[in-house]
């Protein structure tokens, strides 16, 4: 991942051991997959997520409203809640949210991507 960014839409080929495999490469850490590319995310757990974690997606939506309609969020090994202010901000950008554990989130993202849906995913790396 050059500069924490790989352009293009990519399925998640594998996940675990603290990272993800996609686009023929491995990345250790969390990611944000958007229609524009896959971005590295510094957050390691839900408490570290900030609006800035979603910055590339929000910028894409500002430039091209409706480019993403559904955001799948994987919050680690177990189900967790997204902080209410963050969820409110994302919904205010016109996104529907699906929040779950990272494993199911990666699988759902791949299915929706395969159906050419307007989907993005923020996936926290599970140890």
Task: Return the number of other C-beta atoms located less than 10 Å from residue 11's C-beta.
Answer: 14
Nearest to 72, CA basis, from 36, 50, 43, 97? 97
Give the range of the structural domain holding residue 117, as residue numbers without chain letter.
5-123
- Judged against a pLDDT cut of 60, whether residue 2 lies above it is answered with no
Which domain CATH number covers 26?
3.40.1230.10
- Pairing of β 5-7 and β 37-41: antiparallel
- Judged against a pLDDT cut of 80, whether residue 127 lies above it is answered with no
- The number of folded domains in the chain is 1
Find residue 98's DSSP bridge partners. 72
Residue 5: predicted pLDDT: 84
Residue 109: predicted pLDDT: 98
Taking the CA atoms of 34, 45, 106 and 12 in sequence, report the sign of the dihedral they define. Answer: positive
Distance CA 36, CA 124 (A): 19
- Judged against a pLDDT cut of 70, whether residue 3 lies above it is answered with no
pLDDT digits (tens, 9 = 90+) for 20-72: 999 999 999 999 999 999 999 999 999 999 999 999 999 999 999 999 999 99
- b/e per residue 70-82 (b: at least 16 CB within 10 A): bbbbbbbeeebeb
């Amino acid at each position: 991942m050059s500069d924490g960014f790989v352009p293009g839409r990519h399925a998640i080929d594998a996940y675990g051991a603290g990272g993800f495999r996609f686009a023929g490469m491995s990345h250790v850490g969390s990611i944000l997959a958007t229609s524009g590319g896959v971005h590295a995310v510094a957050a390691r757990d839900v408490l570290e997520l900030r609006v800035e974690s979603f910055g590339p997606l929000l910028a894409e939506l500002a430039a091209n409203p409706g480019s993403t309609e559904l955001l799948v969020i994987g919050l680690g090994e177990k189900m967790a809640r997204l902080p209410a202010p963050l969820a409110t901000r994302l919904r205010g950008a016109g996104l529907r949210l699906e929040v779950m554990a990272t494993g199911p989130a990666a699988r759902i993202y791949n299915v929706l991507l395969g159906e050419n849906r307007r989907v993005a995913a923020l996936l926290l790396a599970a140890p």
